[in-house]
Amino acid sequence: MSLRSPRHQAITTTVDFSLFNTGFFIEGAVSEDSAFYLSGRKSNLPLFFNTGEEETDDDGELTGVIINDAPDDFDAQGKYTWDVDANNVLSLSFTKAHDSAGANFNQRAEIALKSPEFQGDAKFIRSFDSQNLLWDHYAANYQLKLGIGVLNSEEKLNYGRQQGKQAGYYINEHSTQYTYKGRLNYVINQRNQLIVDAAYFDLESNFDYDTFQYICTESDPDCDINKRDQIKGQISTDLDSYFVGLNYVTELTQTLQAELGAQWQHSKYSDETFVQPRLALNYFVSDTSTISLKYGEYNRLQDLDNILPQIGNPLLKSQTSKHTTLGFSQELSDEWSWSAEGYYKTMDNLPLALDESQPDADLLYSNEVTGTAYGLDLLVNKNKTENWYGWLSLSYAKSERTNERTNITRDFYADTPLVLNAVYQYQFNERWSGGFNFTARSGQAYTPIIGVRKNPDYNERYLPVYGEAFSKRHELYHRLDIRFERQTDFFGLDAKLVFEVMNVLAVKNVNSIDLDYKKVHSINDLIIDEQEDDFGLRPSVGFSVSF
């Protein structure tokens, strides 16, 4: 994803205020050949929390959670472009984001009842910042783009800190990546062009940890099933990779366009090399209708938790996949359009977590999971004409994973067969506009709890016994948000009032289940707690002014 170019206009500043966020946006021309924008946003959530006091639930019962540092976040981004001359453009951009939260979990907290090592103070911090310099050169028959960027990211988790007892546990991760990219788009003639891409990623990651080892992947219903001993250490590793890609785009006939290509990639960490073909065909049925066929092969390095020394298996191969899509799109009159696309995807060399009953459990992970995903996406879109616009999308999808060691195939944890989204916006008059955003999806797969077992690490503490993985589904999820805007004046300045209600129907959507640990006191107490997404009816009023 890249930031859009700034607009050449008089410098304008917009300041936004709402119950949940405060932000600003500045954009405009610096000179005849340069422009910029700068934006920032800060959460107002800390204003709604009382730090140092134990939280209560909807029934007024103490939860065992004391907020030390309220959930907070901010982000900023900016871009500056300079049209050096008719053939060259320089761009400088940056992005930055920071999230944090801190709490104390006492003996009443659900997380401490399930995993007592979490009892005490906990602090979470996640941040990243990036800077990028890009040069675009335009010539008569080619375009050359060169860029360099740096990305710093950091994530810290400290938990289980108890005064006078122990320093607690921690997981700290910091990484720095330098990226060098280039693209040459060469127009051979009116019907043929060649695109050459190349990039080098210089990535170094550092880990510092004192925690418990959980051997699990996204195919496991709960990491507590395969918890091992406490581990402590430091790891520094280079994860450099690079690729070169070639794509040849040609018009075979007036109605058929083809794109043939391949990408050569190499990962220094896993010492793997891939040559992966890419194919795209566009058949123009008419001036308004197109049939598209695409095929491509892809790969990615395993998650670092699965491949780093001491905490994973460095010998794991990279994940690979093959994608095929077939689609149809059509432009209609009055700014209507629609499209339908079907896809089929296979995945190989996914990680398998090895429990201690396996003869090779010391490897921690193996490449013995495969997967498939297929579905159909339908989109109907109406661009704004006169006084309204909107779109409707409907998706059917199926995703499965197969344990090649046991030859058992199950639904993927994120498998959600049907998803419906609808957006509608209406301009009532010069000052008032309003609309809604509705989303609904069939229940996500989850693993039922069929019993209770003793926690092997803590006396008189208990853990779930799970049934068949991801064999049940939550109820239908749906949410309706409405929003109205009124253009107004504020001391002669352009301003806007925003009235918004999220989850206007106050639907309580269940997103997970677990034991009710406060009520479980023996292996005979199979008491389930359905946990909602904690997104109740949420009204908000906002105000923005531009000058």
Is 246 in contact with 194 (CB distance < 8 Å)? yes
Polymer length of the chain: 547
Q: What is the pTM of this model?
A: 0.87
Alpha helices in 432-481 (DSSP H): none
Q: Give the model's pLDDT for residue 165.
A: 64
Which residues lie below 8 Å from residue 151, measured CB to CB, with a gap of 6+? 128, 129, 130, 175, 176, 177, 179
220 DSSP β-pair partners: none
Q: Cα separation of 145 and 133, whole Å?
A: 11
Please report, in tens digits, the pLDDT of each residue of the chain (547 residues total): 567 888 888 999 999 988 889 999 999 999 999 999 999 999 998 888 888 888 887 778 888 899 999 999 999 999 999 999 999 999 999 999 999 999 999 989 989 998 889 999 999 999 999 999 999 999 999 999 999 999 999 999 999 988 766 678 999 999 999 999 999 999 999 899 999 999 999 999 999 999 999 999 988 888 888 888 899 999 999 999 999 999 999 999 999 999 999 999 999 999 999 999 999 999 999 999 999 999 999 999 999 989 999 899 999 999 999 999 999 999 999 899 999 999 999 999 999 999 888 999 999 999 999 999 999 999 999 998 889 999 999 999 999 999 999 999 999 988 889 999 999 999 999 899 999 999 999 988 889 999 999 998 888 899 999 999 898 998 899 999 999 999 888 888 888 999 999 999 988 888 888 999 999 999 999 999 888 877 778 888 888 888 8
* Among 463, 527, 511, residue whose Cα is nearest residue 225: 463
Q: Cα separation of 353 and 365, whole Å?
A: 5
Q: Cα separation of 273 and 301, whole Å?
A: 12
Side-chain-side CA neighbours of 62 within 13 Å: the count stands at: 10
**Alpha carbon 363 to chain centroid, angstroms:** 29
Would you report the helix, strand and coil content of the chain in percent, each value rounded to 5? 5, 65, 30
SS3 114: helix
DSSP calls for 396-431: EEEEEEEETTTTEEEE-TT--SEEEEEEEEEE-SSS
Task: Please report which helix (H) or strand (E) contains residue 307, including its range.
Answer: helix 304-307
Residue with tokens 């093959």: 322
Is 7 in contact with 27 (CB distance < 8 Å)? yes
Q: Give the model's pLDDT for residue 220.
A: 87
Q: Cα separation of 408 and 399, whole Å?
A: 14
Is 87 in contact with 137 (CB distance < 8 Å)? yes
Is 249 in contact with 258 (CB distance < 8 Å)? yes
What type of residue sits at position 454? K
Q: What backbone phi and psi angles, to 5 degrees, belong to 59?
A: -95, 5
Q: Give the model's pLDDT for residue 512.
A: 86
